[in-house]
Every structure is written in C-alpha cells, then in structure tokens.
C-alpha cells in the first residue's frame, strides 16, 4: 500500500509513455497531412465527396499513389473500370502531375451497418 503522497512508479511511467506516444502519433498525423495535403485535395476534386469520404491516401512513392478503400466492391470499381480515367484526371491537377500509377488496397478499417467507414 502506498501513502497518499507517494506515486506508483509503474503507473507514472506508463502515463508518461502514453503521453509521449500520443504526441508522436499526433506529430505523425500532422506530417502525413502536410506531406499528402495537395494530393488529398486533388484526389477529392477528382473523385468527389462521396468516394473521397470512403478512401484515403495510404502512400505516395516513386510516382505510385496508393489509395486505401473502405470496401472491396468500391476497390474493384476504382481499380477496374475507373482507374485510367482517375489517373488521367488526377494528372491534370498540379499536385497530381507526377503520379504515374494508382494502386488501390483494402483499408484495415471496417464498415458499419450503415455502410459508413469507421477506420
């Protein structure tokens, strides 16, 4: 049992570690937003609000833009029927001029019963 003024070093250490992790995650999210910001805007303009709300940029390396998609049905539609049109439209945007390939992956998030993306 500890007295009222004593701190449990295990709990205090865990809290400090948790605080550090939260700060790191916030910094990473900010970095990704600043890194992909113009591409995010270009993607949203090309696909529209509905599809943009169900997708997010996963990576951009060597001209390949990887888009994470919330459902396999939408992923099939984007990667099959719409891929070349989307790439062409994206390349017309200043932020998308260097994109040479679009890749679609199923996001780790899940769909709710209403079909909205929760991930």
CA distances from 99 to 17, 42, 63, 71 (A): 39, 11, 5, 23
Between residues 118 and 46, which one has the greater pLDDT? 46
* Site of tokens 């719409």: 82
Q: pLDDT value at position 115?
A: 38
Look at phi and psi of residue 86 and say left if phi exceeds 0, alpha if psi is from -120 to 50, else beta: alpha
Can you tell me the distance from the alpha carbon of 90 to that of 51, in angstroms, rounded to the nearest whole number? Answer: 14
Q: For 29-41, how does the pLDDT look when each residue is reduced to its tens digit (9 = 90+)?
A: 555 556 688 998 9
Band (pLDDT 50/70/90 cuts) for residue 113 is very low
In the chain, where are the structural domains located?
Answer: 10-106
Residue 87 has pLDDT above 60, yes or no: yes
Output the pTM of the full model: 0.64
Task: Give a three-class secondary structure readout of 43-91.
Answer: HHHHHHHHHHCCEEEEEEECCEEEEEECCHHHHHHHHCCCHHHHHHHHH
10-106: which CATH architecture?
2-Layer Sandwich (3.30)
Query: What is the rounded CA–CA span in Å between residue 58 and residue 40?
Result: 10
Say yes or no to pLDDT of 7 above 60: no
């Amino acid at each position: 049992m500890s007295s009222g003024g004593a701190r449990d070093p295990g709990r205090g250490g865990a809290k400090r570690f948790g605080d550090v992790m939260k700060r790191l995650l916030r910094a990473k999210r900010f970095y990704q937003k600043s890194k992909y910001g113009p591409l995010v805007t270009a993607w949203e303009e090309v696909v529209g609000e509905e599809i943009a709300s169900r997708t997010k940029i996963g990576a951009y390396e060597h001209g390949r833009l990887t888009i994470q998609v919330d459902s396999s049905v939408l992923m099939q539609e984007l990667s099959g029927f719409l891929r070349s049109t989307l790439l062409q439209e994206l390349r017309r945007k200043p932020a998308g001029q260097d994109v040479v390939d679009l890749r679609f992956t199923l996001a780790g998030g899940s769909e709710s019963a209403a079909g909205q993306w929760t991930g």
